[in-house]
Amino acid sequence: MDIEAGPTGATDGGRAVPVEWTVMESGIGPLFLAATERGLVRVEFHADAARRERMLDRLAAQLGAEPVERASGLLAGAIRRLDRYFAGEPGDVDLPLDWSLTAGFNRQVLRELASGVPYGTVVGYGELARRVGQPGAAQAVGAAMGSNPLPVVVPCHRVVESDGGLGGFGGGLETKRQLLALEGVLPAPLF
């Protein structure tokens, strides 16, 4: 489910939209999660204390509201679904999303990725560019992956190089390998 919001932040008639956050443990380490009443708005890898503080400051500036730690349960569904995903339950992490932290071409690419590259599959940067009507924009697709505010849920780990290489990944290549192995795209490491 997708919720539209303006490119400059989540507001409702000029007032800031409340933001809730938490850090959950996962098979790839701690994940920072934030949600508005519209849906999940941010996922961040490797959520140690320093990164969490940076994310809270950034979200306050971007969304115009001070994030509150898990106040009303906005994150309960996301936590349950991500727990099932990391436990190996096949399927996409289909959750309500607040797209307010991305806009323009990046949003177009990320929405195509979310809807058009299912669990257990991969797509090349060039192919994703072609799907959004910009066949020469493979590098721009890479930039869109790097700006993805919702990794794992909007599965930028499923975008690979046309020659079979993994390509880059904001969460680190080992994290990308782990996610692709979890989905059965790559063999699981032997040790």
181 and 122 Cβ atoms separated by less than 8 Å = no
Which ranges of the chain would DSSP assign to H, the alpha helix?
49-63, 76-86, 104-116, 125-131, 138-146, 173-182
Distance CA 163, CA 97 (A): 32
Instruction: Report the alpha-carbon distance of residue 97 to residue 37 in Å, rounded.
Output: 10
Query: Among the options 110, 156, 179, 182, which is catalytic?
Result: 156
Is 109 tagged catalytic? no
Active site residues: 156
